[in-house]
Amino acid sequence: MKKNLGKADKFIRVLLALVIGFLYYKGIISGVLGIVLIALALIFVLTSLVSFCPIYALFGINTCKKK
């Protein structure tokens, strides 16, 4: 897998995952919506860790700086 996420993208994804986790923990979001958002947050964290987003690859988007 070729990296296609830059530092800013990774930071935003982790930040959104933390916000979603906090809102779920506090009970502000719950039910099916909460479960879907938690799954999305996990995907955000996973893609940030591996620096690869399959949707970006599908559309040819690359925010990673070239070396």
- Tens-place pLDDT, residues 21-43: 999 999 999 999 999 999 999 99
CA 8 to CA 13: how far, in whole Å? 9
Does residue 30 lie in a domain region?
yes
The domain tally of the chain equals 1
Asked whether residue 48 is domain-assigned, the answer is yes
Domain that holds residue 19: 7-59
Domain membership flag for residue 18:
yes
pLDDT at 65 over 90: no
**55 close to 7: Cβ distance less than 8 angstroms:** no
Letter for the amino acid at 33? L
Report the pLDDT value the prediction gives residue 40, as an integer from 0 to 100: 97
pLDDT at residue number 1:
77
Within a domain: 66? no
| Structural domain contains residue 67 | no
